[in-house]
A and B are shown apart, each in its own frame.
Chain A
Amino acid sequence: MTDYTVELNWLIKYFGRRLIFDGINFSFTSRNIYGISGPNGSGKSTLVKIIADLISPTKGKVIHKYGDKIIEPEDLHNYLGFVSPYLFLYDEFTAEENLSYSASIRGIKFNQERSDFLLSELKLFDRRKDLVRGYSSGMKQRLKFIFALLHEPQLIILDEPTSNLDNSGKEIVYKIIMEESKKNLVVIASNEESDIHLCTEIIELEKFKKQTNK
């Protein structure tokens, strides 16, 4: 099985003059669940966005590798599944339309079987033909998981994965995370104790910032 690795090389991020974090140096590999924790404003979401190449660090770089092959930023979306509260799907489309468009825009064939499996797993199968506009926030969060997992990515980044979910939703998500971590790399940014409890290794952002600032 080919390993997916992410190397964070001395990442520094400023917003204006405010330092968010300084000198993060870390390496993630497949078949692990990594946690990123810290108080509000410590830069958890900023760090996962940098890892997902959604924003740039002020200094330092992130290297994605699949086996020995370095993944170029313009190809990263093929290897990445991302879930966060600030990710929005298209309200004017049904769940199934959102998924089929995402597959065709990625340039892959829409896998009806996998889509139906994930919709059933996340208890959205009966509502798959309804417009996303009519979904509750918890249902939208479940749909984001399907959107993130449909193309079978090697890197799964979850920012506050259980936000808006009820207890049964959380259980399903935890089951999926455990399942995915058997073959893929999972990174979770969260403050929820139950989310962090799943992780094999944790980056404490605040502590890390204090250590490097000394």
Chain B
Amino acid sequence: MKAYSLFKKDWQSELRTRYAINALAMFILVTISVIMFSIGNEKITEYLTGGLLWVVIFFSAMSGLSRAFVSEEERGTTMTLHLMASPSTIFSGKLIFNLLLVFLMNFVITFLFSILFSSFIIKNIALFAIAFLFGNIGIAISSTIIAAIISKASSKGTLYPVLSFPILLPLILTLLELTKYSMDGNSINGSSVEIFVLICYDVVMGTASYLLFDFIWKE
């Protein structure tokens, strides 16, 4: 309940300041436009559009998801949070906020891909939905804990993607594989190993982040 209240505060604040939503929306628009201009009239393969989808998702996440903690640090309200809630509440509240942002962002990106790229055809929608669900949870957890780490650093902008890349790489590779399978129309049973890897990633990252947050949060 406390975490939900923190999420509500962040969401209300986001609606008033448009700190992350504007950055995400502009980034998605610009990136997809650049891809479309660079492709021109060329016909690209299904697999390539699947790959491009996760590239856009990765860099969009890098442009907007650090805001959960960076905005608090920049406005000087980190101490205010310290004085209101325990570290576990803060992490949970920020995670809920990033989960919502990731799902919103990825729905928009996937929708735009499906209407703008004719070769983006998913044959097994259920398999893609599973990958999408667990992939988004993984991205939200990783980006939240990395945002907490980099919020205290001086070069936040560059550090975020650099630190995120090795942490998100196993997730992105698994998601690429599952997107390929869903484009091929493979069954969910036939992709169970990758789905299991995805779930394990989420559980490991979630547990590690929850345990480490106390140390990261305190100056």
A93, CB-defined interface residue at 8 Å: yes
Interface size of B by Cβ–Cβ distance < 8 Å?
A: 27
Known A88-B75, A92-B16, A93-B13; judge A74-B88 contact (CB<8 A): yes
Which of A74, A77, A104 touches B83 (beta carbons < 8 Å)? A77
Binary interface encoding of chain A residues 26-54 relative to chain B, with 1 for a CB under 8 A from any of its CBs, else 0: 00000000000000000000000000111
A72-112 residues with Cβ-Cβ distance < 8 A to B are: 74-75, 77, 80, 82, 84, 86-93, 97, 101-102, 104-107
Stretch in B1-9, B54-62, B156-164 with 4+ CB within 8 Å of A: B1-9
Known A105-B6, A107-B1; judge A91-B88 contact (CB<8 A): no
Residues of B within 8 A of A92 (CB): 13, 16-17
Residues of A within 8 A of B16 (CB): 92-93
- A-side interface mostly: loop
Binary interface encoding of chain A residues 54-83 relative to chain B, with 1 for a CB under 8 A from any of its CBs, else 0: 111000000000000000001101001010
B12, CB-defined interface residue at 8 Å: yes
Query: CA separation between A85 and B145, bound complex, in Å?
Result: 29
Query: CA separation between A92 and B12, bound complex, in Å?
Result: 9
Binary interface encoding of chain B residues 59-86 relative to chain A, with 1 for a CB under 8 A from any of its CBs, else 0: 0000000000000000111011011111
Contact A56 B77 (CB under 8 A): no
B167-219 residues with Cβ-Cβ distance < 8 A to A are: 214, 218-219
Contact B79 A86 (CB under 8 A): yes
Query: CA separation between A55 and B75, bound complex, in Å?
Result: 19
Distance (whole angstroms) from the CB of A165 to the closest CB of chain B: 20
Q: Which B positions have Cβ atoms within 8 angstroms of A?
A: 1-2, 5-6, 8-9, 12-13, 16-17, 75-77, 79-80, 82-89, 93, 214, 218-219
